Amino acid sequence: MLAPVPIPGLFVTGTDTDVGKTVVAGLIADWFRRRGARVAVLKPAATGCVRRREGLVSEDAEFLARCADARFPLDLICPQRYAEPLAPAVAAQRAKQPLDWPAIDRSVRLMSAGSDVMVVEGVGGVMVPMDATGHTVLDVARWLALPAVVVARPGLGTINHTLLTLNALRSAGVRVAGVVINRYRTDGASVAEETNLAAIERWGKTQVLATVPDTVLEHGFLPPDLIASVDAVDWAAFAHAGSP
């Protein structure tokens, strides 16, 4: 349904909805931008969009565009938008507006042509249904053929969710760059939060690339401690790793 992304990039997914994929994707895009790269950001489909004079707008796409200093319009950055905060397949069915895969493919082609790297953010977890025929976010990751960054929660239950996500990605042939733990409490972390990182690395056979602190965004902009939490990671090396 989608051609592989022809430039280096990363696919940011998560263990569930509301784990902070958008923030992590924005941090990675900002990392590339600050190093002089021309960054394309892509949110293939978004739900829970807001209605404005120009139509439905994805606030996640707006945030990603700001982090990347994107030169592309929002309708390319997020070509498929739905108002109801539901899985894309369900939102599309209720809106009587089937997901337009060629529109997503067009965004990939047009933005790749003028960019050095592409950061793609998925929707919810990897098994979220995208269309009525049963395609999922996992299919999107497989088609785009970018290494995946898995965003996970720090607390109890995250080992199971993270290992399931890693297993699904690898079973589909998607290369895993690593895991980012989001909203980690630097002060007062529980025993589960303190031990989960090593457990994920051990049993997930992966590496925790970064722990992003539990910090509130400042008027939608990235605060310094969030930026510092990912700054030491060589995201370019992972983006150039390609698919298996």
Active site residue ranges: 43
> Residue 238 in 3-state DSSP?
helix
Residue 61 in tokens: 């796409």
Between CA 28 and CA 113 the distance in angstroms is: 20
Q: How are beta strands 55-57 and 50-52 bridged, if at all?
A: antiparallel
> Could you give the CA distance from residue 62 to residue 125 in angstroms, rounded to a whole number?
21
Residue 219 burial (CB < 10 Å; 0-12/13-18/19+)? exposed
CA distance 229 to 23: 12
Q: Which residues of 29-62 are buried (b: 16+ CB within 10 A; e: fewer)?
A: bbbbbeeebbbbbbbbbbbbbeeeeeebbbebbb
